[in-house]
Each structure stands twice: as C-alpha cells, then as structure tokens.
Amino acid sequence: MYNVILWKDNDNEDIHVFENKPTFSELYKLIGCDLIQILKGYNKELGTFEMHMDEESKLNNLNYPNKRATQAWYNWQDKTKRSCIPGDYIAGTVAIVKKQKFKPKVLTEDEVNAMKGN
C-alpha cells in the first residue's frame, strides 16, 4: 500500500491510497500535468522525500509559491549543503509517494457498530 500525499498551493493536503506504487500516469492526473519534475524535500515528519510536481508550473501561470513544498525544498538544500537560485520557489500541487509501513485493518460492519455502541 502507498500513500500519495498532495500538498496544494493553498496549504490544503489530500491523501490518496494506492494498492501498488502509483505510476507516472496516475500521478499526472493527481497533479494535473503532462510532465513531472522530481525534487527532494525534508521535514521532521517525513524525513527526506521526493516531491513530484508539474515541470511547467511556472510557465502555466502558477506564479505563486507552494509555501510548504518550497520550505521542504529549502530544508533539504540546507541539510545537504546545496543551493538554488535566490528567490526560486515551487509552484502548484506537489505529490509525495510514501510506502505505508503497515497495512490498515478494514473494519467489519459489526466492529463499526460495536465502536458506535450499537
């Protein structure tokens, strides 16, 4: 099982679950693009991870930064002693693919009713 975490440029987050590792075709649909660029990011919650994003986002009038993704990218650069062009940023929706460390249990209807007190 894989989680695809979408960080949107409006600070919202969506999570999509896949049985198998998602293909680029599936990621294209989630991100809303035709060409994917992969950059690294880092934060305390996820550690180091790959961010899949629209290669052409800035050319497609997404001229405002995805603050969360940009900060994760800057964090990774600081951690690895790398740098970018000053003022550069990530625009648009970013997809992070993470393999689940455990398989979630699917509750039966009886288990759900028992939890509800029925």
pLDDT tens-place string over residues 42-83:
999 999 999 999 999 988 877 789 999 999 999 999 999 999
3-class SS of residue 98: strand
Q: Please give the mean pLDDT across all residues of the chain.
A: 91
What does the pLDDT read at residue 13? 94
pLDDT tens-place string over residues 1-10:
999 999 998 8
pTM summary value: 0.80
Q: Classify each residue of 64-85 as buried b or exposed e, where b means 16 or more C-beta atoms within 10 Å of its C-beta.
A: ebbebbbbbbbbbbeeeeeeee
Distance between alpha carbon 79 and the CA centroid of its chain, in Å? 20
pLDDT tens-place string over residues 80-98:
999 999 999 999 999 999 9
Structure tokens at 110: 């009886």
Q: How far apart are CA 73 and CA 39, in angstroms?
A: 7
